[in-house]
Amino acid sequence: MREDANTALAEAGADVSVPEKVTLHSLRDFYATTLITKRENVKTVQVRLGHSKPSITLDKYVGFWPTDEDTTAAAIESVPGGPEQGADLKPSALVVPSQSALGSRAPS
């Protein structure tokens, strides 16, 4: 299959080829993670990959979706007059990680 793709690319005059180590699974993973980084939701990715349940998609790709911290920071930074313009502001309360964020470790 790789040879067929490389032949087609060469005939089209492309300067690229499919690398030796690329497999169908690596292309599938690339497709899934590209959808995720472009902010597609889990249901869309699940349907595109043909998974029977969104939980299957999440089990495999959960680490590629942005965390709440990522999206929260981006949301605040996008507000006019946000942190970049008021960088000298200090938080009004001490931020302490939740117990779930600490896992099994107790605060020292």
Residue 75: predicted pLDDT: 79
Residue 36: predicted pLDDT: 94
Which regions in the chain score pLDDT beneath 70?
68, 70, 82-108
Residue 80: predicted pLDDT: 78
Spatial distance between the Cα atoms of 39 and 47, rounded to a whole number of angstroms: 15
Residue 108: predicted pLDDT: 47
Residues 58/50, Cβ–Cβ less than 8 Å:
no
pTM comes to: 0.55
Residues 95/73, Cβ–Cβ less than 8 Å:
no
Burial environment of residue 9 by CB neighbours within 10 A (0 to 12, 13 to 18, 19 or more):
middle
